Structure 1
Amino acid sequence: MDYKTALKQIQKGQYAPIYVCYGSESYLVQQLIEQLTDRLIEPDQRAFGVMKYDLTETPIDAVIEEAETLPFMVPRKLVIASNALFLTGAKESAKVEHKVDKLAEYVKSPADFSIIILTIDAEKLDERKKIVKALKEANALIPCLMLSADELGHWVHQEAEKAGFSFAPGVAEQLILYTGTSLQALTKEIEKCARYIGRGGTLVASDLDQLVTRSIEQNIFILIESIVQLQLEQAFTMLSELLRRREEPIKIVALIARQFRIMYQVKDLMQQGYSQQQIAGQIGLHPYAVKIAAGQAGRFEAKRLAQILQQLADLDFQMKSGRIDKVLGLEMFLLRLVA
């Protein structure tokens, strides 16, 4: 079952006896747990109605036993167990022995007064295992994976709409560029924007500049975007801002090199016929970051990107060996790059 379907069913009051949430997007996992908790357990009953376990410390058979025990003072209960690594191909610690046959038996005949939620921070499960096959047949597997670039943009607009405001054209994309792709971080920034602009308002770029505190990584991203767009004045303004914050020039060079290395990898893989989604998995980046890097890389030939990487390596050596003033070296690099 996909995540959206599971969420829609929960919102309609249709609950599965067991959910297995896996994937790297922990925010989605937490959202699903919160939806189930809010709909099934009254706030004053959660001490009796919500049971939490860590499967690195508790065997799965103990979790099943809890699910099969009649609830006390509540009509239904949630049994939440994290770190179900026995469903993946990862090596498990010998500290806990899991009797997965108990889980397999439970899947066939679950208790009608309990809902089990198993969570795993892993991109995929080991589908060769019988228990994973059984859970898949029971439609219990819920992938909570990183959103695609288009899905992320849509999600940001949707969350703003829920909060009662809208973004001016291009500002939602600017928010992602400033904040990064973490849904948790984006949620906090959207809440901040909603309080600032008020219900029915429209957030513009200048508002965003005042509201969002950018990390050095995001500032480097914007610096390179300015370079790619040949906006020399903006690029030097961003560099001055980084230096004003006492960011180490050698660190700035390393982060610029990292972004150009990503651009080179993305360009190379795209020329080999990989899709942006495939590239994201190949180099371990969020699809949105790949989309931005692909756009930036489109302004350079592969040979030119290789030359820039070599120039950055030379600049790094000159800075560390004291052969050039660090700030002057950075400024000269930007001038050559734009030229």
Structure 2
Amino acid sequence: MNVDRTTLVGAIKAGKAPQVLLVYGEELQVQETCRAIVDAVVPPEQRGFNLERFDGRTAAWEQIEASIETAPFFAGKKLVWIENAPYFFSRDQKGGLGEKIFEHWREGKREEAFQLVFDLLVLEGWSQEQWDSLTVSASRSFAELLGVDSGDLEPAFTELFAYCRSRRIDLGKRRSGGDHELMALLDKGLPAWSLLLLSATQVDRRTRLYKRLEDMGAALHLALERDRAGRPSRESLWEFVAARLKQWGKSVEPRAREMLLARAGDDLRTLQQELDKLVLFVGESPQVRPEHVDAIVTDTGAPADLVDAWRARGVEVLTERPRRR
């Protein structure tokens, strides 16, 4: 079974949560939820000793397990957080990863695209020699890895390839697997003082390890509802905006909301940054109005197809740039 964020954090505070937790999905929401879990488990003054963070892409499982087995310096729980957990990939996921890589690339999320390429190389068992010897003119195997025809994606394919080549990929340091060791740890049980937090953006829910955590009520999926084009739906973005403003005791007029989405687009991090600016700008005002958006929100240019889709559904979309006062 799945569990929602509020229920999970409440169970953690009550000491009733599983000792292993998986949080995955939209990056911004995953990071915020993991920080909420950290806040619920480890007081700020104890985090130098009772909190350890690892990058699952590079950390050796032996190092992680040693941390889990080592008692905390202070009384209370010890939280071990593995970011970019690599234990939930499978070869069946290859096609989906290739699509996600180019989705990130088209949206300007170069680092996210690069990290998924890294994951895919390891998943397919590429050696350092294979990668180092690859050139643009002989990149057919790289295109096959992504599940695409390199000719159909020019220049995106060439740009992605060049970017990945410009970054240092050390396949010797990248850790794969670990799922068997983690499964063995679940069978054995964690020490009473330990809580293991796993976070990831990409998870294959068909893996045996995922199903084990799901059955434990230890898997939390954070994602916005998407339309047929794969973009966050208008309704889910409305809910995102309303929820964030509610945290500050504010609401938003419908016209102001549409102006905000048209200018900020559908990237959650960009949208969150603009909301933070708005909250500061409106001050004591309980409601965000169109003139507030007009004055402070940067027009990043919502994707044309997104704007057209909204207009087709009868949504008033105002995309004029802010007037200078």
TM-score strictly above 0.5: yes
> Which whole-Å CA distance do the structure 2 matches of 1:180 and 1:115 have between them?
37
Q: Which residues in structure 2 correspond to 1:38-117 (within 5 Å)? A: 38-89=39-90, 90-92=120-122, 93=171, 95=173, 96=175, 98-108=177-187, 109-117=189-197
Hey, what does 2:296 align to over in structure 1? 211
Matched residue SS, 2:254? coil
> Which whole-Å CA distance do the structure 2 matches of 1:293 and 1:16 have between them?
45
How far off its partner does 1:2 sit? 4.5
Q: Which residues in structure 2 correspond to 1:168-187 (within 5 Å)? A: 168-187=253-272
> Which whole-Å CA distance do the structure 2 matches of 1:145 and 1:75 have between them?
32
Structure 2 unaligned regions, length at least 5: 91-119, 123-170, 226-232, 315-325
Query: 1:77·1:114 contact (CA, 8 Å) conserved in 2?
Result: yes
Q: Which residues in structure 2 correspond to 1:245-260 (within 5 Å)? A: 259=304
2:156 matches 1:141? no
How far off its partner does 1:47 sit? 0.7
Query: 2:2·2:214 contact (CA, 8 Å) conserved in 1?
Result: no
How far off its partner does 1:161 sit? 2.0
Change (3 A) 1:158 1:297: closer
Query: 1:61·1:99 contact (CA, 8 Å) conserved in 2?
Result: no
Hey, what does 1:21 align to over in structure 2? 23
> Which whole-Å CA distance do the structure 2 matches of 1:99 and 1:26 have between them?
22
Q: Which residues in structure 2 correspond to 1:113-262 (within 5 Å)? A: 113-122=193-202, 124-125=203-204, 127=206, 129-147=207-225, 148-215=233-300, 217-218=301-302, 259=304, 262=305
Q: Deviations over 1:58-107 (max 9, x none)?
A: 13343233112211124112111122223112452454354432211222
Amino acid at match of 1:106: L
> Which whole-Å CA distance do the structure 2 matches of 1:2 and 1:179 have between them?
31
> Which whole-Å CA distance do the structure 1 matches of 2:234 and 2:261 have between them?
10
> Which whole-Å CA distance do the structure 1 matches of 2:77 and 2:37 have between them?
11
> Which whole-Å CA distance do the structure 2 matches of 1:10 and 1:68 have between them?
24
Change (3 A) 1:166 1:126: closer
The structure in which a higher percent of residues are helix is: 1
> Which whole-Å CA distance do the structure 2 matches of 1:149 and 1:213 have between them?
19
Would you say how many aligned residue pairs link Structure 1 and Structure 2? 225
Query: 2:264·2:299 contact (CA, 8 Å) conserved in 1?
Result: yes
How far off its partner does 1:126 sit? 5.2
Query: 1:157·1:166 contact (CA, 8 Å) conserved in 2?
Result: yes
> Which whole-Å CA distance do the structure 1 matches of 2:71 and 2:287 have between them?
51
> Which whole-Å CA distance do the structure 2 matches of 1:197 and 1:298 have between them?
30
Matched residue SS, 2:210? helix
Amino acid at match of 2:182: L
Hey, what does 1:294 align to over in structure 2? 309
Q: Which residues in structure 2 correspond to 1:2-21 (within 5 Å)? A: 2=2, 5-11=4-10, 13-14=13-14, 15-21=17-23
Change (3 A) 1:173 1:22: same
Query: 1:165·1:199 contact (CA, 8 Å) conserved in 2?
Result: no
> Which whole-Å CA distance do the structure 1 matches of 2:5 and 2:246 have between them?
22
Query: 2:274·2:298 contact (CA, 8 Å) conserved in 1?
Result: no
Instruction: With a CA cutoff of 8 Å and minimum separation of 6, indicate the structure with the bigger relative contact order.
Output: 2
Cα RMSD of the aligned pairs, angstroms, is 2.5
> Which whole-Å CA distance do the structure 2 matches of 1:100 and 1:61 have between them?
13
Change (3 A) 1:296 1:53: same
> Which whole-Å CA distance do the structure 1 matches of 2:121 and 2:53 have between them?
23
> Which whole-Å CA distance do the structure 2 matches of 1:297 and 1:151 have between them?
18
Give the TM-score, by structure 1 length: 0.59
Query: 1:76·1:113 contact (CA, 8 Å) conserved in 2?
Result: yes
Query: 1:107·1:138 contact (CA, 8 Å) conserved in 2?
Result: no
Q: Percent identity?
A: 21
Query: 1:163·1:199 contact (CA, 8 Å) conserved in 2?
Result: no
How far off its partner does 1:154 sit? 1.7
Structure number with larger C-alpha Rg: 1
Q: Deviations over 1:127-179 (max 9, x none)?
A: 1x332332232232222223443232022112212212221232123212211
Query: 2:2·2:218 contact (CA, 8 Å) conserved in 1?
Result: no
